[in-house]
A and B are shown apart, each in its own frame.
Chain A
Amino acid sequence: SQQGEEDPQALSIQEGENATMNCSYKTSINNLQWYRQNSGRGLVHLILIRSNEREKHSGRLRVTLDTSKKSSSLLITASRAADTASYFCATGRYNQGGKLIFGQGTELSVKP
């Protein structure tokens, strides 16, 4: 089954605006992580939220997790052109060898 489906698939905003990306998943999880990928580059970890947490902040990032709806959102406030990248959610479950299941990603474009 698919796990970690993001929407929208693509998002275009102006610098200074907020960007919200959503992720849904199907099976139970122990944590959900968000990663960023600049074009042609590796993935960079942004934030991890555990299944018993509802909200987490890191700088301009705010992540929420609703396990009853099996969904998460990533909010980037006061976006910058340098935030232009693809953003992926990834779900993890205990004792599965550390593997993460990634979603399709949201391609964010921030115009100066």
Chain B
Amino acid sequence: EPEVTQTPSHQVTQMGQEVILRCVPISNHLYFYWYRQILGQKVEFLVSFYNNEISEKSEIFDDQFSVERPDGSNFTLKIRSTKLEDSAMYFCASSFPGQGNTGELFFGEGSRLTVL
């Protein structure tokens, strides 16, 4: 069964460093997402990406964050200068557009980011 894959599974970084989290969405999906989950808390929407541009983004997704689809398969999240509060599990997801462009999301297993 096709799945969303994410790398790395865990990354430890120093505050102020740049981090890139990578995702390979399901091949025929057209919408790509990043969500994050701070330990023990709810899953928060960061950004959605469609047709090579950002479709929606949340207040969390400020200038420190950027997304890119550098080729036909990868989808990346870059955090330019990490802060302690960026420590969280980051989930990539993808979907095939459903009715009104909202439907079932397929999630990866997540990348745990620890900022020291």
Contact = CB atoms under 8 A, between A and B. Distances in A.
A43 B97 contact: no
Contacts of B43: 43, 88, 90, 102
Contact of A33 (B99, B104, B109): B104
Interface stretch (B12-20, B44-52, B71-79): B44-52
A58 interface: no
A42 interface: yes
A50 B48 CA distance: 21
B31 A97 contact: yes
Contacts of B45: 99-102
Interface in A86-112: 88, 90, 92-105
B107 A88 contact: no
Q: How large is the interface on B (under 10, 10 to 19, 20 to 34, 35 or more residues)?
A: 20 to 34
Given A43-B91, A92-B102, A98 B108 contact: no
A98 B101 contact: yes
A45 interface: yes
Contacts of B97: 98
B105 interface: yes
A94 to B, nearest CB: 3
B79 to A, nearest CB: 19
A14 interface: no
A3 B31 CA distance: 22
Interface of A: 30-31, 33, 35, 41-45, 48, 50, 88, 90, 92-105
